Structure 1
Amino acid sequence: MDAPATKRVIIQIVTLLYILLFIYAATAKLLDLENFTVQLGQSPLLSAFASWVGYAVIAAEFLIAALLIFPKTRLAGLFAAFGLMVMFTAYIYIILNYSEFVPCSCGGILEKLGWKEHLVFNIIFVILAASAVLLHCPGADVKTALNSKGLAAVLILLSILSCCLVVALFISSEKIIHYSNTLTRRFPHWPAVKKNETDLKLNSYYLAGVSKDKIYLGNSTAPLVMTVLDTSLKQKEVFRIGLDKTNYPFKALKTAVEEPYFFIADGTVPVIFRGNINDWKAKMLLQGGFFFSQAVPVDSTTLIMRNHKPKTGEMVIGKVSLARHGAAVQNPSLLQKQIDGIFDTDGYLKYSSGLHSLVYLYAYRNGFTVADTTLNLIKRGNTIDTFGHAKLQIVNVASHAQRKMAAPPVIVNRQCAVSGNLLFVNSGIMGRYDSEEMWEKHASIIDLYNLSDGSYLFSFYIYNVKGARLKEFAVSGNMLYALIGDYVVSYKLGSTITDAYQQSGKIQNQ
């Protein structure tokens, strides 16, 4: 076979391979479009553009295949095939070398191939397309075609442009996902692994505190009983809390442990007791003052609180010092009123000892507030959903002098935990590309945020136990402890999460 015939055979073989590849790949994606879009939505590179990138890739593959079929447009098709395959190759290279995590699957036609094998496959097809373009030059033999500076320059320029486009999409997507997200989640591979679980036989427990080697469980139906578990959840001790004064109309006694002390409080009286975990006996250190619905220890003598204004009942963040005989301060501007200052400001008050800051996450809107221990605002941030305004229907019941919700509210954030500079949020809103079956039947989603700059990092699952969903959780270092139905469950956090901890303890001011 002479050189021109050999050249034509090579071009035809490469063309046929690309036609088969693109038609098969585009058809497979189109038939499973929802799954393909979900995979793009969870990609570390293209999450923000998944809604249109999926359609664009499918259209491009069909169009290029059509160009390759006809001799008059074949050269243009080969150039386009080369450029698209360079983009696919650059995408995988960035995933493997610069992405925050590597997804479980590459998706598409070669879903069962690993990422490195897929990279090799793409490089081979890039070489095939480049060879076909060089050999396509009319009247050129193999040697002169390979030395064609013009075609080589076009291929190099096309490679640079293709790589630049992928890099630009990556940088833009990263900025949108981390700081301007519209509820597109990322799920790294195994960020948290379940370790142990124990059946508590009751669902009335709550997390009173966690430390390096202990989990403290209070009980809403037995408020003066403390159950202590080791981190394996196997060894259990039960203690009876003793109060030096009990002649109060307690309605909501709740315990919080900050080793070696514990605090037990009832904001409806209001009273605060403090004791030592060595004997579980507590003395009353504060009686009277502001009514409160949440109290979180900062240190042995200071608690931050969610207080209620006497006349209106509106919520406000305050601080009380037990060392100064209950001296209290408040900052009414920390919580932002939208409707009534009561329901619309409902949420979860936490304290980060690593940042020496309090964090307040709203339940019915996508906001959180960070302040220092003197109650000065540091920053305001947002979770990744779009509920900037609480969706509540509130009515006044004049006969009972009460305000009530007229319809079930849209719960945006169900629960949260803080550890160091990380905010863990159990979201109440399903994401754009989340699995509906996983959301409804199998697991709860935890979204992770960096409090230092307010950015969203990624998400992971906490799985249901015997059909029960996550009720409450706490994080200590590389361990997460969750109450799910009657069970307490522990998860070990992987390096994807622990590497996000920062040692500086600084927050960027808003």
Structure 2
Amino acid sequence: MRLSITVKKRILYAISLLYILLFVYAAVSKLLDYDNFRIQLGQSPLLSAFASWIFWIVPLAELFIVVLLATPRFRNWGLFASVCMMTMFTAYIFIVLHYSSFVPCSCGGLLEKMSWDIHFIFNIVFVLLGLLGLILEHNISRKSKSFRKPAIGIKITIVSVAVSILAVVVLFLASEQIMHHENPFIRRYPQHPIMLQKTVNLKFNSYYFAGSSENRIYLGNYTDPLHIIAFDSALKIKQTFKISFNPKEIPFKRIKVLVKGAYFYLMDGTVPCIFWGRTNNWKVTREIKGLHYFTIAEPLDSTSVLFRSNNGKNAAHIFSTFKAERSPKIIYNDSLLQQQIDGVFDTDGMLVYDEKIRRMIYVYYYRNEFMVADDNVKLSYRGHTIDTISRAQIKVAYLKDNTERRMATPPMTVNANVAVHANLLFVNSKIQGRFEDMKLWKQASIIDVYDLKKKAYLMSFAIYHIEDKKLQSFRVTDTHLYALIGDELAVYELRDILKKEIKMLE
């Protein structure tokens, strides 16, 4: 049955009115909730790198289309622009669902109630309505002298739809390259990369992670250094061990225990000493002899140690390797740490080592840099965290005729905690990024994840405070993330979005 001109006009008017209502609502809701829209767009997996100008262009373009649709003379142009706009929105959702590294939260307003799949169908319906409107207007113009001849034909519309899809694909590819390798300090927060499973109250906040092995996590205690607590991976079974050791008259000041596989190491760089034994009896049986004083140490085995000391020029930090079977036993690498101010405070940082990839990673406290090196402290490469603090923001005061140095003012900490597992580096950042909600930073500690193999930033997630207790340190295994939050030990399950990123370095 053929429709009369009057019916076609009414259908065309209804389609235009639906588009006007949709775009007015969408644009006004974005502008009224500007901060939320800006944050959501900034954390988009497709458009993060271009968020600074897209969050202005989109609502203004929607309002401009409304003006075209509301003007009969330009309705054809309005429908054409509507179809192109909705095609781009539809292509965006399709890429998010099928090619994005994660699916973000939905847009605000009424559409927030829709799932991404329903939103995709909703957009397709409006694209089809727009195409129907263009066909109707083209048909009416051929049969009615009261309508102007459309300036846009069906062929041009089809080509424009294809160009709209291509434009979104290009934006996606360009944004991915920028976000992973040239990040402009915009974090991506995928939904639930970790899931809290259980917390255990330890009663004291002096615990630290000593190591992990065979589905166990070990905790040491700075105030009771010879006692070790072990939990199973689910924090259901707890065991307590005491290291059997007679220190005699060794002037220990700060003992730290490290558990690696079937062995444990008892260390104090102020003595200096590293003792070791087996975890099957927790007895100290041997000592690694010939070490210099150290500030950080990472035993690789019973005869090899990576360590940082103050044996550099002007007592600056320097990295070294110790191997008992070679001569000389200690070899220094004075080019690994790069001095900016004093060589001590400005190069201070955190050392982590992963046995699976046999790499050490050193992350600076006060600047956006980390370095990856092998067992012989030979540099593999230098990487950067996504913040913009490239130079340490510290002031150093020299006392007692320049023989003693101290921080003159509180420093700006950039990276507070770190963990490594296989190719993934986890950094607890203290610097708020662009398009981020201050409320989140008040409620949680932010962890940024980097791929050491791809040399790229991947994603970020939050570890929420427990009451008023904040993150102290954390550790990552194949399946879980463990966090010390005040006097609480929490275990989080790694979700698939994180697990699939874990790979072995060649």
- After TM superposition, the score normalised by the length of structure 1 is 0.94
Once residues 427 and 92 of structure 1 are traced to their aligned partners in structure 2, the CA distance between those partners, rounded to angstroms, is: 30
Cα-to-partner distance string for 1:213-264 (whole Å, 9 max, x where unaligned) = 2111111111122122222223222222233543221111111110211111
Name the counterpart of 2:279.
277
Name the counterpart of 2:467.
466
Per the TM alignment, residue 321 of structure 1 is displaced from its structure 2 partner at its CA by 2.2
- 1:152-301 mapped onto 2 (5 Å cutoff): 152-301=154-303
Match for residue 142 of structure 2 among 140, 143, 147: 140
Cα-to-partner distance string for 1:254-302 (whole Å, 9 max, x where unaligned) = 1111021111111111111111111211145234542211111323432
Once residues 233 and 141 of structure 2 are traced to their aligned partners in structure 1, the CA distance between those partners, rounded to angstroms, is: 76
Once residues 79 and 503 of structure 2 are traced to their aligned partners in structure 1, the CA distance between those partners, rounded to angstroms, is: 48
Name the counterpart of 1:27.
28
Unaligned runs of 5+ in 1: 143-147
Amino acid at match of 1:205: Y
Name the counterpart of 2:39.
38
Per the TM alignment, residue 168 of structure 1 is displaced from its structure 2 partner at its CA by 1.2
Q: Tell me the C-alpha RMSD between the 2 structures.
A: 2.1
Name the counterpart of 2:503.
502
Per the TM alignment, residue 152 of structure 1 is displaced from its structure 2 partner at its CA by 2.1
8 Å Cα contact 2:348-2:365 kept in structure 1: yes
Once residues 212 and 30 of structure 1 are traced to their aligned partners in structure 2, the CA distance between those partners, rounded to angstroms, is: 53
Once residues 238 and 115 of structure 1 are traced to their aligned partners in structure 2, the CA distance between those partners, rounded to angstroms, is: 49
Per the TM alignment, residue 310 of structure 1 is displaced from its structure 2 partner at its CA by 6.1
Once residues 212 and 451 of structure 2 are traced to their aligned partners in structure 1, the CA distance between those partners, rounded to angstroms, is: 21
Name the counterpart of 1:101.
102
Query: In the superposition, relative to structure 1, how do residues 22 and 498 fare at CA in structure 2: closer, same or farther (>3 Å)?
Result: same
Per the TM alignment, residue 205 of structure 1 is displaced from its structure 2 partner at its CA by 0.6
Worse-matched range after superposition: 300-309 or 67-76:
300-309
Cα-to-partner distance string for 1:2-38 (whole Å, 9 max, x where unaligned) = 6221221121111111111111110011100100111
8 Å Cα contact 1:243-1:284 kept in structure 2: no
- 1:238-387 mapped onto 2 (5 Å cutoff): 238-309=240-311, 312-322=314-324, 327-387=329-389
Structure 2 residue 114 is the aligned partner of structure 1 residue 78: no
8 Å Cα contact 2:306-2:322 kept in structure 1: yes
Per the TM alignment, residue 141 of structure 1 is displaced from its structure 2 partner at its CA by 5.4
Amino acid at match of 2:276: R
% of aligned pairs identical? 44
Worse-matched range after superposition: 39-48 or 315-324:
315-324
Once residues 461 and 386 of structure 1 are traced to their aligned partners in structure 2, the CA distance between those partners, rounded to angstroms, is: 20
Name the counterpart of 2:14.
13
Partner of 1:140: helix, strand, or coil? helix
Worse-matched range after superposition: 271-280 or 286-295:
286-295
Once residues 209 and 410 of structure 1 are traced to their aligned partners in structure 2, the CA distance between those partners, rounded to angstroms, is: 29
Once residues 384 and 248 of structure 2 are traced to their aligned partners in structure 1, the CA distance between those partners, rounded to angstroms, is: 42
Worse-matched range after superposition: 316-325 or 373-382:
316-325
Once residues 159 and 3 of structure 2 are traced to their aligned partners in structure 1, the CA distance between those partners, rounded to angstroms, is: 32
Worse-matched range after superposition: 315-324 or 176-185:
315-324
Cα-to-partner distance string for 1:374-417 (whole Å, 9 max, x where unaligned) = 22211111111011111111111226831111111111101000
Partner of 2:114: helix, strand, or coil? coil
Query: In the superposition, relative to structure 1, how do residues 134 and 221 fare at CA in structure 2: closer, same or farther (>3 Å)?
Result: same
Partner of 1:391: helix, strand, or coil? coil
8 Å Cα contact 2:291-2:322 kept in structure 1: no
Query: In the superposition, relative to structure 1, how do residues 400 and 381 fare at CA in structure 2: closer, same or farther (>3 Å)?
Result: closer
Partner of 1:190: helix, strand, or coil? coil
Amino acid at match of 1:8: K
Once residues 370 and 246 of structure 1 are traced to their aligned partners in structure 2, the CA distance between those partners, rounded to angstroms, is: 38
Cα-to-partner distance string for 1:463-487 (whole Å, 9 max, x where unaligned) = 1112111101111111111111111
Once residues 273 and 423 of structure 1 are traced to their aligned partners in structure 2, the CA distance between those partners, rounded to angstroms, is: 29
Name the counterpart of 1:145.
none
Amino acid at match of 2:338: Q
- 1:452-491 mapped onto 2 (5 Å cutoff): 452-491=453-492
Once residues 238 and 159 of structure 2 are traced to their aligned partners in structure 1, the CA distance between those partners, rounded to angstroms, is: 67
Once residues 294 and 283 of structure 1 are traced to their aligned partners in structure 2, the CA distance between those partners, rounded to angstroms, is: 22
Amino acid at match of 1:83: C
Per the TM alignment, residue 91 of structure 1 is displaced from its structure 2 partner at its CA by 0.4
8 Å Cα contact 1:285-1:322 kept in structure 2: no
Query: In the superposition, relative to structure 1, how do residues 471 and 331 fare at CA in structure 2: closer, same or farther (>3 Å)?
Result: same
Worse-matched range after superposition: 414-423 or 216-225:
216-225
Worse-matched range after superposition: 317-326 or 245-254:
317-326
Once residues 502 and 74 of structure 2 are traced to their aligned partners in structure 1, the CA distance between those partners, rounded to angstroms, is: 54
Number of aligned positions between the proteins: 500
Amino acid at match of 1:101: F
Per the TM alignment, residue 72 of structure 1 is displaced from its structure 2 partner at its CA by 1.4
Per the TM alignment, residue 109 of structure 1 is displaced from its structure 2 partner at its CA by 4.3
8 Å Cα contact 1:45-1:174 kept in structure 2: yes
Per the TM alignment, residue 184 of structure 1 is displaced from its structure 2 partner at its CA by 0.9
Amino acid at match of 2:446: I
- After TM superposition, the score normalised by the length of structure 2 is 0.95
Amino acid at match of 2:457: Y
Per the TM alignment, residue 76 of structure 1 is displaced from its structure 2 partner at its CA by 1.1
8 Å Cα contact 1:75-1:136 kept in structure 2: yes
Worse-matched range after superposition: 296-305 or 39-48:
296-305
Partner of 1:45: helix, strand, or coil? coil
Partner of 1:312: helix, strand, or coil? helix
Per the TM alignment, residue 325 of structure 1 is displaced from its structure 2 partner at its CA by 9.0
8 Å Cα contact 1:245-1:283 kept in structure 2: no
Unaligned runs of 5+ in 2: 145-149
Partner of 1:136: helix, strand, or coil? helix
